A and B are shown apart, each in its own frame.
Chain A
Amino acid sequence: DSGVTQTPKHLITATGQRVTLRCSPRSGDLSVYWYQQSLDQGLQFLIQYYNGEERAKGNILERFSAQQFPDLHSELNLSSLELGDSALYFCASSVTGGVQETQYFGPGTRLLVL
C-alpha cells in the first residue's frame, strides 16, 4: 500500500457526461500528479500540482481540468466525455515534486465511457 488513495475505484458513465476523480496524497506529500493509462496511449502524464499550484502540464485535454485543495487532496475533472476517454487514471504523490523524488502511485480509478 503506497499511502495514496483514490476514489472511486470504478466509474461507468455515458458520453457527454462529466465526472470527478479524487485523490489523497501520502501524508506529508505536497505534490500530486495525474496520469492516464490506456491501451493505445500507454501511461501518459497529465498534470502536476504542488501545494495547491499547478506546476507542470502534460498531455491533458482542454476538456479535462484539475485542482489541488488546501488540504492537499486533488480532483481531476473530466467533461464532455468521449468513448476514447475510457482508461485507468492514476494519481501519484511525492514530497515536493523534485526531479529526484520517487512518485508513489495510488490504485487508480477505472473509467468506462459508454
Chain B
Amino acid sequence: DIVMTQSPSSLAVSAGETVTINCKSSQSLFGSVRQKNYLAWYQQKPGQSPKLLIYLASTRESGVPDRFIGSGSGTDFTLTISSVQAEDLANYYCQQYYDTPYTFGAGTKLELK
C-alpha cells in the first residue's frame, strides 16, 4: 500500500497568515499516461463531511476559493492556504488515487492561535 505522510499534524495560525501543509507519498503518484499526479486534498470541518478542495495535485474544485493552492509532483505535495480566514479552520487530508487501495494522510488540524 502507498503510505501518505502528512505534516504537521496540527498548526496554529492567526487570521491573514499563509500556511503550508505537506504530504509525502511512499512512491511516486505521477501517472505517465495522463502526465498527471494522482493526489487530492480535502477539508473537513467539525461535524461535517469532507469536502474536495484539489484534485490532480493542483486543480481547484469548482467553487473553492483561489487562496487554496495545491502544488508538487512525484512524492512531495503541498497545500498552501494564503491569507487564512476563520472559516478555514478545519482538518485537511491528502489522498492518493494512483493505486488501490487508495490511502489518506493522517490529517492536519488547522487551529486558531
User: A and B, one complex?
Assistant: no
State the A residues within 8 Å of B (CB): none
State the B residues within 8 Å of A (CB): none
